[in-house]
Amino acid sequence: MKSALAPTLDKSFGDYYVLWYANSNSYSIVDGNFKDILDLYLGAPDLNAFQNELNHLSAKEVQNIKAKLDSYLSSCQVEQDSTNHFDATFDKNHRNLSKTYKIGDNSFRLYSDRKQVEDALHPSLAQYEIQDVNKVNTVFDVYLNENNLHLFQNEALLLAVPKTEYHFIQGKFHMAVSNLIHHKNETDWLGTLHGSTITNGDTALLFIGNSGSGKSTLCSLLVAHGYSLLADDISPLAKSNTHVYYNPAAISIKENAFKIIEPLLPQIKTLPDVFFNPSKGVLKYLPCPKPEQLHYPCNAIVLVNYNPESTTQLETISVKEVLETIIPDSWLHPGIAYAGAFLNWLSTTSFYKLTYSDTDSMVKTISDLFKA
């Protein structure tokens, strides 16, 4: 029954199963009981057969279960609401400011219409700015027009969104820059994971957490202790080798973390204040040295929980807790081969939750985890 609505992929993770639905690119995490009854329902040729399997239950109870499963299956077909993207044609009359960058063998220019708009993209790449005004390989344009923010690459539209959704412009810009420096295109990525990745020069750990959980602060502290930043906030995961790749953006630090970081990284005082959105407050962008390699395997995901009252604790957590945190703010390629590769990568990955307040014991715990 309803086999057309069946999950396209499923994978077992301890007490849970992760089911993936191709029509909607939805990931559903279910427990063993739910998976058993869903399989029974989808495998039964008709309602009578399903009722016969559950013949210890009343017809009303079976109807109730059926209604719940139908409702679940139809919810799994519903796509994520589309972000408010729209078409726009390129207008070069917004080129009031410009910055030029060089990363590896790639040089590119960013034109913008005003300082506040430039501040949404430029400070994260400021360490790669060059004064050379010679020919560049790629030109980006970003500008605000009638409350909509536009981003173009070589005069072709990458994205236009209402200005309140500027985080999609930042995400698209960093994806485009990553494509340039890694010689890839969008179809080469399983996704861009919402989290920050740190490497010890051998492997990498992906730190996740909701906004304000302290992932960027933690990464800054780890960089101060000799680790390398591979990616802040947006961690690109490649399809070919499931490695996390270098994202050249500096670490974005909110005002309330300045005092935690300053004793270890006093240079933060000299970094310019960036302010383009009142709801984010003042930000500083901490540039970090480029890691030795441009990509590393990542075998563990760590959910960050800064708690000033707590001692340092590292505990294992379920796939459910990890995916509930990471999926809603990540982009994951909707193709079946991509979803399958993502699930396979997850199945080889360990999941932890790190609660901490004291830097030294946190660094020791992470150092032990890298060695594990």
For residue 326, what are its two tokens? 């990471």
**Residue 185 interacts with another protein (CB under 8 A)?**
no
Is 138 or 203 the residue whose CB approaches another protein more closely? Answer: 138
Q: Is 38 left (phi over 0), alpha (psi -120 to 50) or beta?
A: alpha
Among 76, 125, 229, 271, binds another protein (CB under 8 A): 76
Q: Can residue 108 be called a binding residue for another protein (CB under 8 A)?
A: no
Give the residue, chosen from 23, 75, 154, 348, that forms a contact with another protein under the rule CB under 8 A.
75
Whole-angstrom CA distances from 113 to 96, 106, 141 are 5, 23, 9
Measured from the CB atom, is 158 or 300 closer to another protein? 158
Count of residues of this chain found to bind another protein when the rule CB under 8 A is applied: 72
| 231 contributes a contact to another protein by CB under 8 A | no
Instruction: By CB under 8 A, tell whether 26 contacts another protein.
Output: yes
Q: Binding of another protein at residue 265 (CB under 8 A)?
A: no
- 237 sits near another protein (criterion: CB under 8 A): no
Task: Give the integer Cα–Cα distance in Å for 313 and 329.
Answer: 26
Least distance (Å) from another protein to the CB of residue 101?
18
Instruction: Please state, in angstroms and rounded to a whole number, the distance separating the CA atoms of residues 362 and 222.
Output: 9
Per CB under 8 A, contacts with another protein among 110-129 are: 114, 116-117, 120
With CB under 8 A as the contact rule, the residue among 164, 185, 240, 307 that binds another protein is 164
Contacting another protein (CB under 8 A), which of 5, 22, 54, 157?
Answer: 54
Residue in 102, 167, 184, 225 binding another protein, rule: CB under 8 A: 167
Contact window for another protein (CB under 8 A) among 47-55, 94-102, 264-272, 351-359:
47-55
- Please select the residue that binds another protein; options are 174, 182, 239, 353, rule is CB under 8 A: 174
Q: Which of residues 278 and 308 has its CB atom nearest to another protein in the complex?
A: 278
Site for another protein in 275-314 (CB under 8 A): 276-280
Stretch 131-150 residues interacting with another protein (CB under 8 A): 144, 149
83 binds another protein (CB under 8 A): yes
For another protein, the closer CB: 68 or 92: 68
